[in-house]
Structure 1
Amino acid sequence: MPERRMFSRVVYLTAATITQNEQSWSSSVLDLSLKGALLATPEDWTEGNHADYIVTFQLHDSDIEITMEALLVSERDDFLRFQIDHIDIDSASHLKRLVELNVGNDDLLHRELGQLTDLKDIV
């Protein structure tokens, strides 16, 4: 089966918090891309709606926190797949740098950044 992903994923394991309204769950980031994140399903997970989640996590060995508003795209087995709906400029810069360091290919990164811009124009 051909690869359909438009964005490279990087493995990044760290603790995360998922919030929606007044509910909050502890989870773990498993991998990231410029467009979304894969998280472990929390043990006490109770699905709300698929919109308006906030996912936050801290970069290793730093006080930098990445915060993103995300849509729950799918729940499968022990995984939650989120699509970034909105991310502030500081978090986006840190996420870009994290992906850049782990992808190791500047041309690929710039192509993906261009695709992000193109997608925003469509929506």
Structure 2
Amino acid sequence: LNVEGAIFDVALVDVSFNGVLVKSDIPLAFDIGQEAEVTIHLLGDDIAIRTPATLAHKREKEYGFLIENLDIDSLTLLRRLVELNLGDETLLERELDHFFDND
């Protein structure tokens, strides 16, 4: 998690086409609406999803970010990750329809 040039190591709790939920072992002094760049490392540093995001909510040590813009490579990786986690192509298509209807 890159916030104003500062790098924070956080754990990924959940990810969807709309947002990312992360957890930190230490409380982070972020404000709602604060912008960040989220990087989700899939295979070390070689393959990663990178996206600008905005802090939408925080609760204790969990922080929810709305995804703003995904480049095509990150969108492709995220699609595959969601597909693997859902295990059902019908659910994936429903998630994609919801994502594109909100744009």
Which one-letter code corresponds to 1:73 in the other structure?
A
Q: Which residue of 2 aligns with 1:31?
A: 14
Shift in CA distance, 27/62, structure 1 to aligned 2, threshold 3 Å = closer
Measure how far apart 1:25 and its partner are: 1.4
Which segments of structure 1 move beyond 4 Å, counting only runs of 4 or more? none
Q: 2:92 aligns with which of 85, 104, 109?
A: 109
Measure how far apart 1:36 and its partner are: 1.0
In the comparison of the two structures, how many residue pairs are matched?
A: 103
Which one-letter code corresponds to 1:103 in the other structure?
L
Where structure 1 has 5 or more consecutive residues not aligned to the other structure, the ranges are 1-17
> Which range moves more in the overlay, 57-66 or 100-109?
57-66
Q: Which residue of 2 aligns with 1:85?
A: 68
Cα RMSD after superposing both structures: 1.8
Do the aligned residues in 2 keep the contact of 1:66 with 1:91 (CA within 8 Å)? yes
Where structure 2 has 5 or more consecutive residues not aligned to the other structure, the ranges are none
Matches for 1:63-82 after TM superposition, within 5 Å: 63-82=46-65
Measure how far apart 1:54 and its partner are: 0.5
When normalised by structure 1's length, the TM-score is 0.75
Larger Rg: 1
